[in-house]
Amino acid sequence: MTDYPDIEIRDVKVDGYSIHLAHRNAGADPHPTLLLFNGIGANLEVMFPLMQRLDKLDTLIFDVPGVGGSKPPLFPLRLSALAQLSEKLLERLDVPVADVLGMSWGGLLAQEFAHNHPAHCRRLILAATSPGTIMVPGRVSVMFALTSPLRFLDAGYLRRYAGDIYGGQLQNNPQLVDEYLALARPPKTPLGYYWQLYASAAWTSIHWLHALKQPTLILAGRKDPLLPLENAHLLHLHIPNSRLIELDDGHLFLFGLRDVVAQLIKSFLFADDSP
């Protein structure tokens, strides 16, 4: 995309899957690559504004199979299989260890990756996410909207209901909604979206969160209608080496508060000590 000339987009083959990825090379900085896991149904381009602000950080994001530019698999993959695929992608790209950021559904995958592949995860950032099925649910109407891919297939639908679904700045900032829509790519088929729902169905991390060793930064929006703030407190309570920061926004604060969030991320990843 012409607005992001420093971000390289390409496809690679990993374990039989065609993976669509984007990489922003920060040069010779010694810090590990930051691997981003996106929210459910969201293509990698929606993270570009944040990636652009993470100067001095090597950043990597990919569309999981069935989302964005990655073809859907014949059979659904559980989070454990997607975490393993992520580890193989890092190996394919010669990235021995990474810092990991997971947003919303991607936060579940980030927890699974940190737990199953701890040698490849130095630090962990969990944004607008939860421990899975053991969680405090959002409003019923909002959770129902989450189960449908219509918000990605119909731009008009998202423009009308973005404020209700995501809360925060998107409730009264139509320009921000349009900016998000300009980057969002509708899936070629809703199958990948349903595969993602299957991947996290009946999944929870609550029984092993206490075993996570990585320094962990938890970011949460106070006005998040999808995942109420109590979920972040639940994560913070169970992850030993964690720090919680509350933000005055809704679910998509990585997009709406990108400048603020970028500074928080850099401060955490560049810090020599644990949070």
Give the residue numbers annotated as catalytic, written as ranges: 104
**Helix H segments across the chain?**
48-53, 79-92, 105-116, 140-146, 150-153, 155-166, 174-183, 191-200, 230-238, 253-256, 258-270
Kindly write down the DSSP assignment for every residue of 80-131, as one continuous string. HHHHHHHHHHHHHTT---EEEEEETHHHHHHHHHHHH-GGGEEEEEEES--S
Give CA 215 to chain center in angstroms: 18
Which among 166, 130, 161 is positioned nearest to 256, based on CA atoms?
Answer: 166
Give dist(CA 130, CA 108) in Å, integer: 7
Which residues have a Cβ under 8 Å from the Cβ of 187 and sit 6 or more positions away?
Answer: 41, 66, 67, 68, 149, 152, 153, 193
